[in-house]
Amino acid sequence: MVSAALHSNRGTTNGQCVVLGGERGDPEHIASATAQMGFAAAQAFDADQWFRTPCSSPAHVTPIIILDATEGIGDQDRHFARLVKFLDLTAPVVLVANMALIGYEQEQFELVQEEFKDVLSAANLVPSFFGPLPLGRPDLTPWWQDEGSLDTLRTSSVASTSPPLRMKVISSTNDDGGWIVTGATISGAIGTGDEILCSPSNQRSVVASVEETEKGVLQLTFDTPHFAEPGEVVSHQEEPPIETDVFRIKAIWYADQRTQGDRVLVETSYGRTQGAIQSVEQILSPSTFKTAHDTEIANGALVEIVVRVDKVIALDHIGNLPFAAGVSLLEPSEGSGLLATGYISMEGYADQRHLFASKAINTTPIEFSVGESDRSARNGHEGGVLWFTGLSGAGKSTLAVALEARLFEKGYQVFVLDGDNVRQGLTSNLGFSPDDRSENIRRVGEVAALFRQAGVIVISSFISPYRSDRDRARHAAYSSFHEVYIKADIETCIGRDPKGLYERALKGEIPEFTGISAPYEAPDAPELVVDTGAETIEACVEKLVNYVDRNFRV
């Protein structure tokens, strides 16, 4: 068994700390304090160094906030507390510097402590440790006793469990019919006989040999010929990374203005990929921490955005592997200008791996004696998929049922697949988590494709919030897939609320509700847009009927 060389900022599993306000304290006092807490010198960073380090993961570090005993609590201290909260850092350590200038007075220390604890409480934060500098000097501060929490912090600064295997492939070399895969280890351990998985290709193999050529670099061979593309991620089969082309980022912005649709180069722990800002979810002012009602991101802002990359990639996120969740956004052309650094979250989005990993084996499709053209000639129209997508309350089901009746009267073979109806049978075992939503649409997309092959016009009425899932439904249909965006803004849908779901979701009674606590990705280029907020139901149905007549009659 060969263990990974945990040598980089983003690869270590030992605790790391980032010092906020370090200019206020004596560097030797701060270094001594971090060492007493169990952080090695190489694991302590000042804020600017850390946050501007590409692919560092802020969420993996312990923030150490340095206060000034002579100044009390100021705007910068409040900013540090809000920054810790926004970036979901671990519970902060707070150290009070310049104690000598107040004669190591207990009363002044406790005033600063009480005031800053109120600041932290307002941000829903509780400090893991609060102490004076220099730390561990009872001769100077005999009144301070908190060794118990220091021992706890020291113990927790070292990871208690082994991280999963992550190895980034550098190259694959042909060796007399076999392949030698060379990779840089990031975490975990690997040995002969291990069952591994390469992502995002989803190739599986068993390790035949492992050789460490230099620190952190391994050469692997396998029991069967196995070629791995440079940039792929090797893991054990039971602990793989995520596969996706869309994810959230919480970040600190360092560049001039950018907005939705702008191209970026995305650098994760495992490589670089071109992509774009799909949506700007939140912009916070670094000085006031108030939400900016704007979609343009300015220098210094704290942002939450959704990024879509040009292809499915392997990555880890804050929820499954924090130390590898770091991400940087770079200028798309040269990749040198740093735009932002932060971390990846998959909140509201699904792991797409299961959509690419087929388990069907030993199957051979049969040839049918009746072709699609035969059915079209008999029916007088082509089969096809009208895929209605839109928010709950936009009018999808209402329009689907009305359109079905009109088309049936005109002689079309037509059928409605509706979200609530399908969940009574075909997808009754699925909930509303991102993964379940994705599987729900995968199944429906395949059923809709079968209807199309049978010559039927199928009206699929589903929120289908994820663009990638709708794209897969289009791929399953193969041809004659028409994405119809049933458009209504969130305010209109809340005003209608025919099922009372928005009211409950706004009260927090329904988790992961699309448009409120779960994302909805509007279509980029739908074949048809039907705006139920601007047109009557009758006008919308007429528009749909005319569209079908133009596109499906033969």
225 to 69, 189, 203, 228, 358: CA distances (angstroms): 65, 22, 11, 10, 20
Helix axis angle for 434-453 and 467-477, nearest 10°, is 20
94 to 17, 33, 66, 140, 237: CA distances (angstroms): 12, 11, 6, 18, 41
Element holding 19 (H helix, E strand)? strand 16-20
b vs e for 318-338, b when ≥16 Cβ sit within 10 Å of the residue's Cβ? Answer: bebbbbbbbbbbbebeeeeeb
**Amino acid at residue number 541:** V
**Amino acid at residue number 266:** V
Q: Burial of 435 by CB count in 10 Å (0-12 exposed, 13-18 middle, 19+ buried)?
A: middle
**Amino acid at residue number 194:** D
DSSP 498-523: TTSHHHHHHTTSSSS-BTTTB-----
In total, the chain counts a number of residues equal to 554
Which residues, listed in sequence order, are joined to residue 253 by a DSSP beta bridge?
A: 340
Q: Helix-strand-coil percent breakdown of the chain, rounded to 5?
A: 30, 30, 40
SS3 per-residue string spanning 398-457: HHHHHHHHHHHHCCCCEEEEEHHHHCCCCCCCCCCCHHHHHHHHHHHHHHHHHHHHCCCE
SS3 per-residue string spanning 301-338: CEEEEEEEEEEEEEECCCCCCHHHCEEEEECCCCCCCE
Distance, in Å, from the CA atom of 509 to the CA atom of 463, rounded to the nearest integer, reads 20
Distance, in Å, from the CA atom of 179 to the CA atom of 37, rounded to the nearest integer, reads 46
Q: Which of 162, 464, 479, 517 is catalytic?
A: 464
Would residue 464 show up in a list of annotated catalytic residues for this protein?
yes
Distance, in Å, from the CA atom of 434 to the CA atom of 163, rounded to the nearest integer, reads 25
**Of 16, 23, 129, 131, the residue nearest 76 (C-alpha):** 23
The single residue listed with the structure tokens 């990705």 is 521
Q: How are beta strands 457-461 and 414-418 bridged, if at all?
A: parallel
Structure tokens at 24: 């206020």
Query: Which residues are marked as active site?
Result: 464
